Amino acid sequence: MGILLLGLTGCITAPVERATVSRAVIGESRAEKNQTGLSDLAIQAIGLVGVPYKWGGNTPAGGFDCSGLVVYVAYRAKGLKLPRTVVEMSRFGREMEVDQRLPGDLIFFNTTGHPFSHVGIYVGKNRFVHAPTEGGTVRIESLLSSYWAPRLTTIRRLVKS
């Protein structure tokens, strides 16, 4: 039970044997070409690139885990108060189709065998900002990478754009 709770509260990016979702992320989002979405969330997230990863962390001074980063950015950019865990966060907003994603949308991944074990913030052009792992830093990565693309589970928009 303790291991399950650890996986639900932190951001664990341990390898999984096979992808649980096979969703293609190809090309630029159709929606992205014509709208800015919640770009202030994306801008705020990009500004935190380089902050150290810290399990349970939720401030730039103390470091971030994935959900702590998203909670911090949503509050600073929009005044939104999100729940602290990835699973609870996955229930907020509206699910979007992959080709409708916009900067500022939340991107959820299955990295541990659970559909909502990691979260990041989409920043445009198939890239997202996240706090991936112990010993790392907040960084920008591609949704097209061989690691992230098959692990994508859902995209959620917090507020109507």
Relative orientation angle of helices 66-78 and 39-46, to the nearest 10 degrees: 120
Closest CA to 129 of 62, 59, 77, 51: 51
Is 11 part of the annotated catalytic residue set?
Answer: no
Of the residues 130, 151, 156, 157, only one is catalytic, namely: 130
Please state, in angstroms and as integers, the Cα–Cα distance from residue 69 to each residue in 18, 118, 142, 156, following that order. 27, 11, 18, 16
Q: Which one from 38, 45, 51, 66 is the annotated catalytic residue?
A: 66
Q: One of 101, 118, 151, 157 is an active-site residue; which one?
A: 118
Q: How far is CA 37 from CA 99, 101, 161, in A?
A: 13, 9, 5
- Give one word for 79, left, alpha or beta, with left for phi > 0 and alpha for psi -120 to 50: left
Going by C-alpha positions, the residue among 136, 137, 132 that lies closest to residue 120 is: 132
Active site residues: 66, 118, 130
